[in-house]
Amino acid sequence: MVREAGTFGRSGPHDFILLRASAVVMLLYVLFMVGFFASTADVTYANWTGLFSNLWMKVFTLLALTGVLVHGWIGIWQVLTDYVKASGVRAFIQFVFSVGLIIVWLTGLFVLWGV
């Protein structure tokens, strides 16, 4: 029996911690971005790229995207295991979302790399 198939962590408690830790990281990122848009009257190409050219902002953004990857992966697993009872269909949807999340993470990495 492989009960943990499809989850992100190796166990329920591990998923529990990962879900909350990633939530806190993303919460901080959202608060920061709200602050940025609130304090920047006119968002131009110059100050937009200026923001993401900082090393700390690249790290912060990739950290938040890692949060999205982990949180999204575990979150969709929780939703799917509750509502999609056919294991084949569930595995397929989980596959699509998991691959999509990795694509989002990698896209973020390469975009940040080039700014």
Partner 1 sequence: MVDILTYVEVALINSAPGILYISWCFIERQSIVKKERPVNLDLSTIQFPAAAKASILHRVSGVIMLVSLAFLIWAFATSLSGPEGFAQVESIMTSFIAKFIGWGILTALGFHLIIGIRHLIMDMGFWEELDSGRASATASIVISIIVSVLVGVWLW
Of residues 75, 81, 84, 90, which one binds partner 1 by CB under 8 A?
75
Q: Looking at beta carbons, which pairs linking 33-36 to residues 24 or more positions away fall under 8 Å? A: none
Place of tokens 């920047």: 40
Binding positions for partner 1, 39-58, rule CB under 8 A: 45, 48-49, 52
Region 2-41 residues binding partner 1, contact defined as CB under 8 A: 20, 23-24, 27, 30
Rounded Cα gap, residues 51 and 24, in angstroms: 22
Q: Which stretch binds partner 1 (CB under 8 A): 2-10, 73-81, 84-92?
A: 73-81
Measured CA to CA, the distance from residue 42 to residue 56 in angstroms comes to 22
**What residues are designated binding site?**
71, 83
